[in-house]
Amino acid sequence: MSLPTLSSVVTPPGDETELLARARALAGYSLGELATHAGLVAPANLKRDKGWIGVLLERYLGASAGSKPEQDFAAIGIELKTIPVDSAGRPLETTFVCVAPLTGNSGVTWETSHVRYKLARVLWIPVEGAREIPLFLRRIGTPLLWSPSAREEELLRRDWEELMDLIVLGQVEHITARHGEVLQLRPKGANSRALTKATGEFGQPIMTLPRGFYLKKTFTGPMLARHFLL
């Protein structure tokens, strides 16, 4: 099996079929094989390079968003999400969706939310994530192109509305990872000095850690199981 062709610039895919074909061509390869072929050096671990796998796969798939707050394949409305799984195909950690807005939220609804936009259509790529497997030996799994069902969207909407209500009411400091059935809000920052503006419980401006929305394993686990018949 030969490695996928990788030119210096991979053009964005023209449609879902082309993107899925590119992703399927990567299945079975190790991260080390793909990195070497792309001229990249695999880090020893992901402690300081959490986004490295995503960056590597974007090189092969032709993602266009970079660090911009839009879908990775904006022209065809698809977001890329890698997900580390164990030997049984179960997710090993929560999945980052997007940064949570902590100010200026009057009038924001689920229908216009960034969470809904990011999760409208997702290319999931499972990656072996067991810690005993060296990073460069971890293999890419079969991709899944997914949109939330009516039931899944309802669960997401309900949690999003609950969490956003707490943010607007100045309760951001009291939100824990236990809030939400399938969606949670957690601090997201490189260090405790990376603070951002928010609203306190008495309506006063405060500085707090940036927060991000994350999908819980109780959401992604059953989703993968249904589609891969685990």
Q: What is the pLDDT of residues 39-86, one digit of tens each?
A: 888 888 888 788 899 999 999 999 875 656 789 999 999 999 999 999
* pLDDT tens digits, 95-142: 999 999 999 888 889 999 999 999 999 999 999 999 999 999 999 999
**DSSP assignments along 45-67, one per residue:** -SSS-TTHHHHHHHHHHT---TT
The candidate with the shortest Cα–Cα distance to 195, out of 228, 172, 177, is 172
DSSP 29: -
The rounded mean pLDDT for the chain is 91
pLDDT the model gives residue 177: 87
What is the model's pTM?
Answer: 0.91
Q: Which pLDDT belongs to residue 143?
A: 97
In a domain, 174, yes or no: yes
C-alpha to C-alpha distance for 213 and 198, rounded to whole angstroms = 16
84, part of any domain:
yes
- 6 part of a folded domain: no
- Percentage of the chain lying above the pLDDT 70 cut: 92
Question: How confident is the model at residue 191, as a pLDDT?
Answer: 67
Residue 108 maps to a domain: yes
Reduced to 3 states (helix: H, G, I; strand: E, B; else coil), residue 93 is coil
User: Residue 140 pairs with which residues in a beta bridge?
Assistant: 127
CA distance 132 to 60: 26
2 pLDDT higher than 90 = no
Q: How many domains does the chain have?
A: 1
Residue 152 domain boundaries = 16-228
Residue 141 included in any domain: yes
CATH number of the structural domain spanning residue 207: 3.40.600.10
Q: Does a structural domain hold residue 1?
A: no
8, part of any domain: no
Task: Give the pLDDT of residue 164.
Answer: 96
How much is the average pLDDT of 154-168?
97
Copy the structure tokens of residue 227: 């589609």
Domain-embedded: residue 120: yes
The β-bridge relationship of strands 144-146 and 183-187 is unpaired
